[in-house]
Amino acid sequence: MARFGTTSSHSPKLRLHNLWRLFRAPVPADAQAALDMAWAKIDPKFRTANQMFGRHEEGCGATIGVMPRCDFACRGCYLNDTANTTPALPVAAVTAQLDVLREHLGPWGNVQLTDGEVTLRDTDEVIEILRYARQIELIPMLMTHGDSFLRDPGLLARLITEGGLEEVSLHIDTTQRGRRDKNFKYADTEADLMPLRARFADMVRHVRKQTGHTLRVASTVTVTADNLPEVADIIRFAQNNADVFRMVALLPVAPVGRTEDGIGQIDASTLWNEIERGLHIEASNAGRVAENQWLMGHPDCSRFVIGATIRDGDAPGKFVPVSPESSPADRVLLDTIFENFAGTTFRPDRPAEAFARLAGMFVRKPGLFLWQLPRAAWGWLKRLSPEHPITLAARILCGRAPVHRFAITAHHFMGPEELASPIGQERLAHCVFQVAINGKLHSMCEVNATGLRENFYASIARDAHNTLDSAA
């Protein structure tokens, strides 16, 4: 099975050179440069302790035109009416987009391989695109409704072993229409979809064992006024299955594309109230989810909480947030990381590479590992089990209380009216979600709400028509 890492060659000399490089520079210079460029874009009033953009993340990129067509007919959809008749871009045009995004995001930036339903494209071409993203040091996340994996049980394993796929987001919610399984085709409640979520969780566990590869999975949910009361149940399910679903991405519906007129929209505070209702959080931060939120760019765009969930026995998992406000020890730990190792990621590393990077970090800041991290970890144990922290630590080490990274994010896209407003323009200036069109970056909200998507799809159709005419 193919294994993808940071080097294109597996010769011993190059492997040693790469390990030495990671030891000497745990944070690549171009990663720091990308962060500095992002930080410079942020208005000083948003440069807060909980701002992640420009301090640890360079934002996110997304493709367009990879596969405009989709075989679902969702009630909330940012695609336009011509999507299903628009041909997919040639592979070379997609990789050109990735080149632009790589320059913007820096090494191992986050890229969403998305558009319509990407898995409808020829599998060999999807694999080629995935491999190219890894080759130029991007981390692609495949955005999908997941139905293709159920129809073709071998597809996901192929994308992992041949394409190097390590991240996938499974979109499941009641706004969707089109699943082949009649039990879920016209689901009216999120409760109706819980067996499907469980089926996907089992599928992921199986494919991990089958391939021997780690697959990081997010759950994407479009939120409307109709399914808002069930958001808490979705959070509970994901937290209890955090070994699979490491992140829940909630997308309040926006009036763009093919979204139904009159579909119920919701505001941020209402959504986060429901998130908090479903999140089983440790006692010292209960009722304080808003205080533990991180920002990504403008406060009205993206907010998230990040930490770990620990499940001890049959009890529901408890979420331990890590933020500047979660505890004094956490703040000290985070300040040290941001000041010294901002932009560091271990996601592309093989075990030896991760060890070399960690060794380099230790040499530069031993106090982080010898004092600050153990102090924070002890604090997490005491927050979870005030009377028996040592017992809990022993259970964790023995595998009886598994610990998994867990995050919840909410991203609010804008419609045309909001985008045209003063606050919309302010949000646009701080956008962290960029799409490359004809060599230029555009906000995803701009793509969806100003006609850019329609114009780009029209250009794809014209180019395809001209190519056919030339061939004739």
Q: What is the pLDDT along the chain (472 residues), one digit of tens a residue?
A: 333 444 444 567 668 888 999 999 998 888 889 999 999 989 999 999 999 999 999 999 999 999 999 999 999 999 999 999 999 999 999 999 999 999 999 999 999 999 999 999 999 999 999 999 999 999 999 999 999 999 999 999 999 999 999 999 999 999 999 999 999 988 999 999 999 999 999 999 999 999 999 999 999 999 999 999 999 999 999 999 999 999 999 999 999 999 998 888 899 889 999 999 999 999 999 999 999 999 999 999 999 999 999 998 888 889 999 999 999 999 999 999 999 999 898 998 989 999 999 999 999 999 999 999 999 999 999 999 999 999 999 999 999 999 999 999 999 999 999 999 999 999 999 999 999 999 999 999 999 999 999 999 999 999 887 776 776 6
Residue 57 maps to which CATH number?
3.20.20.70
Helices and strands (DSSP H and E) totals, the chain: 18, 12
Q: Encoding tokens for residue 244? A: 């699979």
The total domain count for the chain is 1
Q: What is the DSSP letter of 51?
A: B
Residues 6+ apart with CB under 8 A from 53: 38, 39, 42, 59, 295, 296, 297, 430, 432
Decide the pairing of beta strands 216-223 and 167-171: parallel
Q: Is residue 3 part of a domain?
A: no
Within a domain: residue 235?
yes
N- to C-terminal Cα separation, the chain:
42
Q: For position 13, what pLDDT does the model report?
A: 67
Angle at 364 between CA 358 and CA 366, to 5 degrees: 75
Query: Can you state the angle between helices 190-211 and 231-240, rounded to 10 degrees?
Result: 20
60's enclosing H/E stretch is strand 60-62
pLDDT digits (tens, 9 = 90+) for 361-414: 999 999 999 999 999 999 999 999 999 999 999 999 999 999 999 999 999 999
CB 106 within 8 A of CB 33: yes
Residue 19 lies in a domain: no
Domain for residue 246, yes or no? yes
User: What does each C-alpha distance from 280 to 112, 128, 388 come to in angstroms?
Assistant: 29, 41, 19
- The verdict on residue 71 lying in a domain is yes
In a domain, 384, yes or no: yes
In one-letter notation, the amino acid at residue 85 is T
pLDDT of residue 10: 56
CA pair distance 199, 441, nearest whole angstrom: 38
Instruction: Output the pTM of the full model.
Output: 0.93
- How confident is the model at residue 440, as a pLDDT? 96
- Count the neighbouring beta carbons within 10 Å of the beta carbon of residue 212: 10
- Whether residue 415 lies inside any domain: the answer is yes
Tell me, rounded to whole angstroms, the distance of Cα 297 from its chain centroid.
Answer: 15
What single letter denotes the amino acid at residue 340? N
Give, as one character, the DSSP assignment of residue 316. P
CA distance readout (Å), 307 to 99, 242, 271, 377, 431: 32, 11, 19, 12, 24
Owning domain of residue 123 = 29-471
Residue the block writes with tokens 């960029």: 434
Residue 22, in any domain of the structure: no
200-239, pLDDT tens digit by residue? 999 999 999 999 999 999 999 999 999 999 999 999 999 9
